[in-house]
Amino acid sequence: MEELGESVIIIHATRHFMCFLQFDISQDYLDKFDRVSPINPNDPILYFQATPWFDLTTTRGRNHVVSNTCAMIRLAKA
């Protein structure tokens, strides 16, 4: 796997559901961004991770949102 440069976290909310998306952006990906071809398997890849949708009407869903938010704060402080 390529060495990671930056991560971008998106909090996606709709009505009473919420999920977190984390995109890991390598320097190689940024360097070749304007020349990436969807048919070239050697081009860099934009990696991402997503949580499931958390239901904010449930205690369990709210607890998961709080846990993920705390993890983002720890990541930002590191």
Q: What is the pLDDT along the chain (78 residues), one digit of tens a residue?
A: 445 458 899 999 999 999 999 999 888 888 888 887 778 888 888 889 999 999 999 999 999 999 999 999 998 887
Classify residue 31 as left (phi > 0), alpha (psi -120 to 50) or beta.
alpha
Structural domain that includes position 46: 4-77
Q: Which amino acid is at 60?
A: R
Number of domains in the chain: 1
- Strand intervals (E) in 3-68: 4-14, 17-26, 47-50, 54-55
Is residue 20 within 8 A of residue 48, CB to CB? The reply is no
pTM of the predicted structure, to 2 decimals: 0.77
Task: Confirm if 51 and 64 have CB atoms less than 8 A apart.
Answer: yes
